[in-house]
Amino acid sequence: MESMGSPLKEVLEKKAEGDEALLRVRAWEVDESPTVLGYVEVSGWPRPLGSWRLGYVAGVAVDSRGRYYLFHRGSEAPPLICLDEAGERLHSWGRGAFVRPHMAKCDDDDNIWLIDDGGHVLHLFSPEGELLRTLGEKGVPGEDGSHFNRPTDIAFGQGGDLYVSDGYGNRRVARFDKGLSFLSQRGSEGEGKGQFVLPHAITTDPDGLVYVADRLKWRVEIFDPEGGFLRQWTHIGKPIGVVCAPDGCVYVLDRVNTRVTKVDRSGEIIGFFEVPGVGGERSMTAHDIAVASNGDILIAHSDGRAQLFRLS
């Protein structure tokens, strides 16, 4: 047996210290999660959809009643499909209603916002598919309080405020009150703090702070509710999706490094797990993430897949 002062022990201790340091600067270089999060992929989810075929699954969402949504770009099935936790189909709608589906997000009333980046609008629907509200003017790009240019995502702040990441055409976050009146906007194109290269996803935490996944700059920028820049995380990877979950932690979907990283609100990495592709290969197709109140994690993929990960 090796002694306590053995060269082997020293090597292992140095490796552990190295991983701990890397988690704070380049976490994607660390192979083993500091904590076993316990997530496993649910095989056979969703259940077969009959003759329907999913296209690019751009958005996923979950509500408080256990309804799981897929928002996709294919022509061989309705663009919005609602499933139960077992993956069985409940509802569907939206044929012809969207130009280019992007993210999806359920609000506190269990209605669902669907972001149409090709149509430059965001629509709010009931779970049964009734159109309730619209932000933007369909087919008309712009950069003011009533127009967007390829918006990407929406988040809900304190007092009913809404934050829209806008997006591919504009490089800003637009803020609205609960009546959809325009309040302010922050951001511009650039790599500086408070600027954006591509604001691709957005979320808020219980304190009202706003987290923006600046996808092409490999960072998550964090703002106060009024849009003041606070800090940024550059150690997690290339974030394509970000969500503050019911457990109070932030989950970052890193498409390039094919993993979901769980982070506390100080930026400390709690753990991560890999998102496998077809046949267990690396997946460079992940596009959106949602976390349910029961801990389920739903991942959208551009290759026509949706994955559900559940705590084992």
Per-residue model confidence as pLDDT tens digits over 145-201:
999 999 999 999 989 999 999 999 999 999 999 999 999 999 999 999 999 999 999
Instruction: Copy the structure tokens of residue 120.
Output: 């430059």
The DSSP bridge partners found for residue 259 are 254, 274
HSE of 125 in the Cβ direction (CA atoms, 13 Å)? Answer: 25
Q: How high is the pLDDT of residue 4?
A: 46
pLDDT at 18: 84
Lowest average pLDDT, out of 12-16, 95-99, 167-171, 247-251, goes to 12-16
Q: Which helix (H) or strand (E) holds 57?
A: strand 57-62
DSSP code, position 170: S
Q: How far apart are CA 280 and CA 252, in angstroms?
A: 21
pTM of the entire structure?
0.93
Using DSSP's 3-state secondary structure scheme, residue 119 falls into coil
Helices and strands counted in the chain (H then E): 1, 24
* CA 83 – CA 96 distance, rounded (Å): 21
- Other C-beta atoms within 10 Å of 85: how many? 16
pLDDT band at residue 278 using 50, 70 and 90 as cut-offs: confident
Secondary structure of residue 157 in the 3-state scheme: coil
Q: Is a pLDDT exceeding 70 seen at residue 17?
A: no
| CA atoms of 8 and 161, how far apart (whole Å) | 56
Q: What is the mean pLDDT of residues 223-235?
A: 97
pLDDT for position 207: 96
Strands laid side by side in the 269-274 sheet: 239-244, 250-254, 259-263, 269-274
pLDDT reading at 9 higher than 70: no
The percentage of the chain sitting over the pLDDT mark of 90, rounded to a whole number, equals: 91
27, 30, 34, 37: CA torsion to nearest 10: 80
Q: At 3, is the pLDDT very low, low, confident or very high (cuts 50, 70, 90)? A: very low
For residue 270, what pLDDT band results from cuts at 50, 70 and 90?
very high
9-18, 265-274, 279-288, 303-312: segment of lowest average pLDDT: 9-18
* pLDDT (average), residues 276-296: 92
Note the pLDDT tens digit of each residue in 140-150.
Answer: 999 999 999 99
Average pLDDT, stretch 191-218?
98
Would you say 87 and 45 are in contact if contact means Cβ atoms under 8 Å apart? yes
pLDDT in tens, 19-28: 999 999 999 9
pLDDT for position 15: 56
Tell me the average pLDDT across 242-253: 97
Beta bridge partner(s), residue 70: 60, 81
| Section 71-97 average pLDDT | 97
